[in-house]
A and B are shown apart, each in its own frame.
Chain A
């Protein structure tokens, strides 16, 4: 059974750096064909994809946030970390991590987010 859980600060000041951790079970990022993604959702607004990291350490970032985002994996701990720099109040929202499913397709553009964590609410305010 796959589960994911996000953790990190609930309140961050503007200009500070946010570090979120996704702790998961039921799969390993040391296994071929596995990925984890990050998606956020401002209050009352739509979902926005942020980043992806694959078992082979390949990474993808949202073009609009690329300069502010970094993601890394710790295979031994079953964790993925997302770092976002220079926070602004518009970055307030719920941040989700999700299992990225290959489902038999080698083309990474055909993978998809099948199971999500419950999310963690981050508020950016002074």
Chain B
């Protein structure tokens, strides 16, 4: 059971928009920045969003992050087949004095 709660799956057709939620608590998302990672099967996680909404160099503008209270969301617009992957949210947790990850969301592009 992950400390951060994500839906196990999401889907959309090419060109559509999709949002993936991440729910936590005051000791984690409610206090600290949220990060999003993309993981294509068989590869290492790739940082997509840091400090709630900032995109690292090279990440398409189609990816955006937001945070409100103890929840966060990753939005992907203009879905493409290469977006099919697992997505994980993560943050620091003050109660655990360490990092926590969400259970991951498998995005399928139909």
> Which of A47, A96, A109, A117 gathers most chain B CB within 10 Å?
A47
Chain A residue nearest to B6 (CB atoms) is: A46
Contact of B98 among A49, A96, A113, A119 (CB under 8 A): A49
Contact of A63 among B33, B56, B96, B104 (CB under 8 A): B96
B45 touches A112 (CB 8 A): no
Chain B residue nearest to A61 (CB atoms) is: B98
The smallest beta-carbon distance between A44 and chain B, in angstroms, is 10
B50 touches A63 (CB 8 A): no
Contact of B51 among A39, A48, A110, A113 (CB under 8 A): A110
A67 to B96, CA, bound (A): 15
A118 touches B99 (CB 8 A): no
B94 touches A109 (CB 8 A): yes
Residues of B within 8 Å of A46, CB to CB, are: 2, 88, 101-104
The smallest beta-carbon distance between A58 and chain B, in angstroms, is 12
The smallest beta-carbon distance between A99 and chain B, in angstroms, is 10
What is the size, in residues, of chain A's interface with B at 8 Å between Cβ atoms?
23
A47 touches B32 (CB 8 A): no
Residues of A within 8 Å of B99, CB to CB, are: 37, 39, 49, 52, 113
Taking Cβ atoms with an 8 Å cutoff, the residues of B that contact A are 2, 32-33, 35, 37, 43-47, 50-51, 56, 88, 90, 92, 94, 96-104
Other 12 A-B pairs with CB < 8 A, given A49-B99, A63-B98, A96-B45: A37-B99, A39-B99, A49-B90, A49-B98, A60-B98, A61-B98, A63-B97, A103-B50, A103-B51, A110-B32, A112-B50, A112-B51
